[in-house]
Amino acid sequence: MDPSHIIKSAGGVLLTRDVLARGSSETAIRSAVRSGAVWRAERGLLAVAGADPELVAAGRARGLLTCLSAAGRFGLWQLRPAPQPHYWHSNGRAADGCVSHRRALTQPRGHGTIAALPDVLLHALLCLPFLESLVMVECAYNRGDIDPAFLRSHLIGNRCGKARDVLARVERGADSLLETLARILFREAGIATQTQVWLDGIGTVDFLLEGFLIVEIDGLAFHLEPRQFKKDRRRDNAAVVRGLPVLRFFYDDVVHAPEAMIAQVRGVLSRGSLRWPQPDQPGFASSGRPWRP
């Protein structure tokens, strides 16, 4: 079997022994190396031409990219890039300048140099600070890629208490990293917070705080969509006409100035305590009569 096809199917980098185990031969490997389709990254490690340097580095470390280093490979939300690579290692081989994860994998090693998504999330839960791991897991959960119950079943024992606490805060409904962060900030500030609330005559809003303050979160690319921009502003107008105050915050507010954001929210909340009328169903609001201060 063509070794270049085998290596490409595994992500572009693969141990020589694994190439042989998947049906190639030493003769075929030597031929592929001579043709330039495959190159020897080092003894025992093969890569196809143009292989991703990050994956080559993981192969040289005899590890798999995982945790924060693998987040981008799965399109997961990230608060920051990994300052140093995170590898999963199955042996005692040391790799300088990296974070080494050695917890046993729960999934087969299908990719040559990247851990499977469930293991990436488990490693993140056990390694990263609260918010960094939360946004990764919540992104995968909202896409339907992972069941938190599966992750929880692999987090047994006292050493996994922090990871279980993160899972307990994971929710559905957030459309972006910023919405997840804002929800956590509002609730940690002791503010009654409903997410993705439908309001008659207005539509679905990102947050309804204390039953009457609408908060919308605009991402980095909000201004690139003129139609959505106009739709959002018309919805804001509809809310104000009905007596509901609206605040909008941006990436810098949520990520870099959360204290100022919370202060503005508290300032508006302090001006009125009446609630927008709500039906019996939790998480929804109705326009039975206008809110009045």
Architecture of domain 177-269: 3-Layer(aba) Sandwich (3.40)
Q: What are the pLDDT digits (tens) for 139-158? A: 999 999 999 999 999 999 99
Non-local (6+) Cβ contacts of 45 within 8 A are 13, 14, 15, 16, 59, 60
pLDDT per residue over 9-43, tens digit each?
999 999 999 999 999 999 999 999 999 999 999 99
Please answer whether residues 227 and 234 qualify as being in contact, where contact means their C-beta atoms are separated by less than 8 angstroms: no
* Nearest Cα to Cα of residue 112 among 12, 232, 247, 210: 12
Burial tier of 173 (Cβ tally within 10 Å: 0-12, 13-18, 19+): middle
Residues of the chain with pLDDT under 50: 273-277, 279-293
Q: Tell me the domain boundaries of the chain.
A: 3-51, 63-168, 177-269
For the entire predicted model, the pTM comes to: 0.83
